[in-house]
Amino acid sequence: MTKRSTSADFVTAFATGWPENQPDIMVLSLTTNKGVQDFALNKEQALLVAKTMTATANRLAKPKTS
């Protein structure tokens, strides 16, 4: 766990492709140089991820402007 990459090629989050069958989950898809991993999240998990990402983004340094 200590030698993890600090970046991914790209990250996408999207609603499931089958909302008529499972409208209660969101799929988070993470793509890295090692491949793709999909995670199914329920509403509470998705809200926790969003809250954590927002808190982290708010702590990031402001971009330098010229």
Judge contact between 25 and 44, C-beta under 8 A. no
Query: How many structural domains is the chain composed of?
Result: 1
Contact 10, 30 (CB under 8 A): no
Helix (H, G, I), strand (E, B) or coil at 39: strand
**Does residue 19 form part of some domain?**
no
Task: Confirm whether 6 is domain-assigned.
Answer: no
46 to 20, 24, 26, 56: CA distances (angstroms): 19, 11, 7, 15
Helix and strand element counts for the chain (H, E)? 1, 3
CA angle (6, 49, 64) in 5-degree steps: 50
What does pTM read for this prediction? 0.61
pLDDT tens digits along 6-22 = 666 666 666 555 556 77
* pLDDT in the model for residue 55: 94
Residue 34 lies in a domain: yes
Q: Which domain holds residue 33?
A: 24-59
